[in-house]
Structure 1
């Protein structure tokens, strides 16, 4: 039984290695995993096309690296398992670089940095201390740095996890949770600036819980890593990064 499992794992890893290496030596585009549900970073437009900051940034990196890609939508909690299983060659979906994730996958150099913040009904909370939120129901999307932050720092609160940001926000509006925590820019763009977010506000501190956002690769793909990192350096030096960033975020500094 153990021998059969070991053989299966070897075949899976070998298949992933062959798939990515083959794409580097051929005209086949890289398969890029993306959630497509976190505006303005990556989301789906009315025509069904995946668009957003992550998409334009990654396409520019690939172009500078002499590579091409095709975007494949996947639920958030299936992205890293998908790349490990060989479904994708890379993942670019506002994935935070964390020590826990680096045990399973590799990351490029950081692309940019974002923050997470709490949101609740206006005037509900003055700060985000553990004592203030003791006994409260706090929500986050599962398998994110936001959910990890809640589970680590709020042992006296009830942590409620959701598959999507939409479900998370709907439960806040319905009063089923007292506060949520999520990416600051995405929450402001997709919730607080919308009519449904009128009665809500950020509260507490601005939290930077990770080492930045990177492109995810399977373990051991050094050639692809080098080419992507070279592309990242190129778009930083030639002004392309700043051009794309300004289009989506104005003068907000994401570096």
Structure 2
């Protein structure tokens, strides 16, 4: 999921390189884009054959990207087959895309390991769930251009022996865990010398509970998840090693977060990319800040 560089620098570099097109969401060119993407919606279609619906899968348990709540406050969207609602950065993005396509958004709540299979089977149109655009995933599904760029950081307690760590090397010997099926767990934790790596946690909240309970010394995650956690757990502190030789070694594909869809669904892919092309790095950051400000953990 989820740098060799600080978030702002990475986003600026990638945007400048043209991975996502330039322009502000307030730019007057956004209106023609919305018209053309709406025309594409019929071709993309929904899995149940209803072209008016964009069916989006996510965990609904990964704040600030997505979470479950009991009402529709702040514009939350109903979860299919449930009385609950979903909200967060991913839902905000889904609604923005749905509006441009002229489609209503339907959220499908699935566990992490079921997201890719749901796209492949056609049960959902796409997944917006903080997925990194890795080669392994791209072999199974198609991805949009990045809709977020997430730097990797470490969380520990303020009174931890690792609270003053300034590099990955300083984490040597730590008892650590992270979320199942993420680069945090699979790629980053093994880079810590002599680490006692515990079993992966099913969800991001479970990962944070493990740290808070003292089951581990550190967890590795991305910056938005860490920033959200600091609100709920004031005893936590965030360690950012700033990239370079002191930081975790990950590839660019590990930090580019994309929207996945069924292989060959080029109509939907093009329509989503057209929406993303109207957004800038500042737009992404502002929307993530909004999500963090209203997430359940911050209340």
Normalising by structure 1, we get a TM-score of: 0.77
* Alignment partner, residue 55 of structure 2: 31
Which structure has more relative contact order (CA 8 Å, sep 6+)? It is 2
* Alignment partner, residue 162 of structure 1: 201
Could you list the per-position Cα deviations for residues 140-168 of structure 1 after superposition, in whole angstroms to 9, with x for gaps in the alignment? 00111211332552363122210012221
Say whether 1:215 aligns with 2:259. Answer: yes
Closer/same/farther in 2, CA of residues 187 and 245 from structure 1, 3 Å limit: closer
* Alignment partner, residue 290 of structure 2: 247
Closer/same/farther in 2, CA of residues 68 and 139 from structure 1, 3 Å limit: same
- Does structure 1 conserve the Cα–Cα contact (< 8 Å) formed by 2:224 and 2:288? no
Could you list the per-position Cα deviations for residues 70-127 of structure 1 after superposition, in whole angstroms to 9, with x for gaps in the alignment? 1011112221222223322200011122222212221101112122211112152132
Give 1:198 deviation, angstroms: 2.4
Counterpart among 206, 210, 218 of residue 179 in structure 1: 218
Could you list the per-position Cα deviations for residues 174-209 of structure 1 after superposition, in whole angstroms to 9, with x for gaps in the alignment? 2211111112222222x2212xx2222112414694
* Alignment partner, residue 30 of structure 2: none
The total of aligned residue pairs comes to 226
**Root-mean-square deviation over aligned CA pairs:** 2.8
* Alignment partner, residue 66 of structure 2: 42
SS for the counterpart of 1:109 is coil
Counterpart among 253, 261, 269 of residue 225 in structure 1: 269
Which range moves more in the overlay, 203-212 or 41-50? 203-212
User: Structure 1: how far apart are the matches of 2:140 and 2:193?
Assistant: 26
Say whether 1:149 aligns with 2:193. Answer: no
SS for the counterpart of 1:132 is helix
- Does structure 1 conserve the Cα–Cα contact (< 8 Å) formed by 2:154 and 2:240? yes
Closer/same/farther in 2, CA of residues 231 and 154 from structure 1, 3 Å limit: same
User: Structure 1: how far apart are the matches of 2:155 and 2:288?
Assistant: 25
Closer/same/farther in 2, CA of residues 219 and 202 from structure 1, 3 Å limit: same
